[in-house]
């Protein structure tokens, strides 16, 4: 079904060109995304070059789409090249631009460059958001640096950046990765005490694993039951929506 949607989007784009209708930046961005999602990075690059040549259609949205396409392909040098293009075309990277770059480094477990991008973002007067911090926590986790991950979590509170379920899950995963299962359970307990953030299936999986590694069969069973109740509630909602 998704493949058909992608094909229809490309067909629509080609029809616009055939009718001499100039695509705007939103259309270019969408088509860059379409090629990226189908694994056709050269296709994304072709559309991106075409957009840059038509200067009246340039907008940061399309540049961010190209940054995202390269980031997902883990082509960091090309990501940085798009940043250079942005500067050459008299545009300025925004929070989304920097978040994509921080996330790309985080996925690679490159804490140093993730932090450099994070600092560069702040030096430009851009405020990191939950996504930014979650990416840095993820980078620390992949580097087996739980202390760094916890420090970043604490900084979120100090800077009044909202934490979400991704924050908790990423921090729990970092704790499990270094086999600090007690810390993972502490994080889980703090989440359970929170009224603002609700656990999801990933949370319960991480908690169950931590409890099992600690030999706490009661805690593991409770996490498993909570996950089962969550699944049942979602199933009931889907049935109600169906009817």
pTM of the predicted model, to two decimals? 0.83
Tokens of 19: 């009718």
DSSP letter for each residue of 70-95: HHHTT-HHHHHHHHHHHHHTT----H
Residue 37: band (very low, low, confident or very high) from pLDDT cuts 50, 70, 90 = confident
How many other CB atoms are found less than 10 A from the CB of residue 66? 29
More confident residue, 19 or 134: 134
CB 30 within 8 A of CB 44: no
Please state the rounded mean pLDDT for residues 66-87.
Answer: 92
Q: Is the dihedral of CA 74, 131, 121, 36 positive or negative?
A: positive
Instruction: Spell out the domains of the chain, with CATH numbers in brackets.
Output: 1-73 (no CATH), 163-243 (1.25.40)
Indicate if the pLDDT at residue 242 is higher than 50.
no
Exposure string of 187-197, with b = 16+ CB inside 10 Å and e = fewer, is bbeebeeeeeb
Q: Are 101 and 134 within 8 A, CB to CB?
A: no
Mean of pLDDT over the chain: 89
Q: Between 202 and 10, whose confidence is greater?
A: 202
Closest CA to 24 of 54, 68, 65: 54
Q: Which residue has the higher pLDDT, 240 or 115?
A: 115
Q: Count of CB atoms within 10 A of residue 175's CB?
A: 24
């Amino acid at each position: 079904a998704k493949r058909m949607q992608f094909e229809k989007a490309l067909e629509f784009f080609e029809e616009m060109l055939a009718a001499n209708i100039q695509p705007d930046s939103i259309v270019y961005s969408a088509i860059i995304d379409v090629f990226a999602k189908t694994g056709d990075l050269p296709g994304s690059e072709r559309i991106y070059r075409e957009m840059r040549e038509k200067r009246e259609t340039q907008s940061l949205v399309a540049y961010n789409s190209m940054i995202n396409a390269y980031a997902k392909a883990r082509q960091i040098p090309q990501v940085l090249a798009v940043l250079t293009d942005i500067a050459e075309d008299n545009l300025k990277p925004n929070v989304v631009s920097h978040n994509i770059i921080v996330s790309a480094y985080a996925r690679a477990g490159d804490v140093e460059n993730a932090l450099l991008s994070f600092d560069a973002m702040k030096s430009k007067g851009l405020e990191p958001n939950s996504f930014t911090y979650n990416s840095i926590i993820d980078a620390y986790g992949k580097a087996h640096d739980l202390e760094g991950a916890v420090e970043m979590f604490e900084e979120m509170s100090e800077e009044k950046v909202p934490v979400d379920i991704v924050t908790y899950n990423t921090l729990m995963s970092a704790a499990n990765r270094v086999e600090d299962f007690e810390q993972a359970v502490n994080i889980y307990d703090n989440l359970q005490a929170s009224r603002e953030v609700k656990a999801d299936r990933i949370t319960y999986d991480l908690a169950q694993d931590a409890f099992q590694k600690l030999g706490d069969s009661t805690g593991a069973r409770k996490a498993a039951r909570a996950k089962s109740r969550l699944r049942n509630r979602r199933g009931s909602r889907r049935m109600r929506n169906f009817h």
